[in-house]
Structure 1
Amino acid sequence: MAKYRDILGNEREIEDTTITISLEKYNTLIIKEAIADGLIQAKNKEKKLVQDTDELLEMYNDVVKDLEKFKEYQQLEEQGTLIKLPFKAGYRVYLISENFIEPCTVEAIFLSDYMDKEWNHSNMAEIYYNREDCPYVSTEIYFTDIGKTVFLTESEAEAKLKDIKANRI
């Protein structure tokens, strides 16, 4: 029991509940707490490292799949069985017809060994367009016509038509 004087000067006894530890024990507790904090931080870093490793592994697997697909395309190209189409069905093309440009929609694509007007080997597409005088006009074009009478953009068609008109004079 510890003795003390209250504010009136009376002497009193109270139970001393203070915990006293040595400086060595205090330092040991501080060190243990620091180690525990370090372990928690290390565990968090380890979890992050595992997550990062999993993400890298997933990215690596994606790259491997892409390379396998590229290798397959390369083999198809070497075998002559890979065809790159200039457009797909539903695509808008521009046909120079007489002295004007006709916006057309690709309706179907035919892959075969056709011979164009100049006896070149070519694939074909069927295109259609609507006119006031005829609501649905369908015609076939050769892929070899692209850049000559059929264009993938309106600006290319306008430039070609301007060139054709200039050379007629």
Structure 2
Amino acid sequence: MTDSIENRINLAQAYFNVNKYQESIDLLEKSLTGIHSNDLTILEGLCHSHFRNETYDEALKYLDKYEKSNESSLPNNLRLLKAKAYEAKGDIQAAIAEYDVIADICAGEEARCNYAVLLKKQGNLEKAKELFETILKNAELYPKHYKKHEKEWVDIAKAERI
């Protein structure tokens, strides 16, 4: 196999898929050079790999680099990852700030549910209750496939609601 950026990215994805996050990171970091130093695909892979590797500061570093390389913009899936990384590393205020921005703009209920659970832990019961109720209302209003797809978050909302 030829040592190319494309092959490294593909191999890094294969490592990621079998939970070999450090191997994925090593390949992606090796690829982040020259004209590929701001490659969004590589940066996104590094964000996810570092998050799964529980190296949250590194995940946040690459999320910031992605944002700077993408005209100060992060897609919603990476904004959610950023909130989760802040939460995982214990920076609760930063996590709350991120969740507050994305809870209503991310597709699905994961961001809203994570935000509600975090707010509940922090004692903000009124806002948490409102978010849990929104999740449950959405599950009732939207088609069956939505409820099925969002089952994990709906179940958490049912269990956690106040």
Which TM-score band (shorter chain)? under 0.3
- Computing the radius of gyration from Cα coordinates, the structure with the larger value is 1
Higher helix share: 2
TM-score by length of 2: 0.22
TM-score by length of 1: 0.21
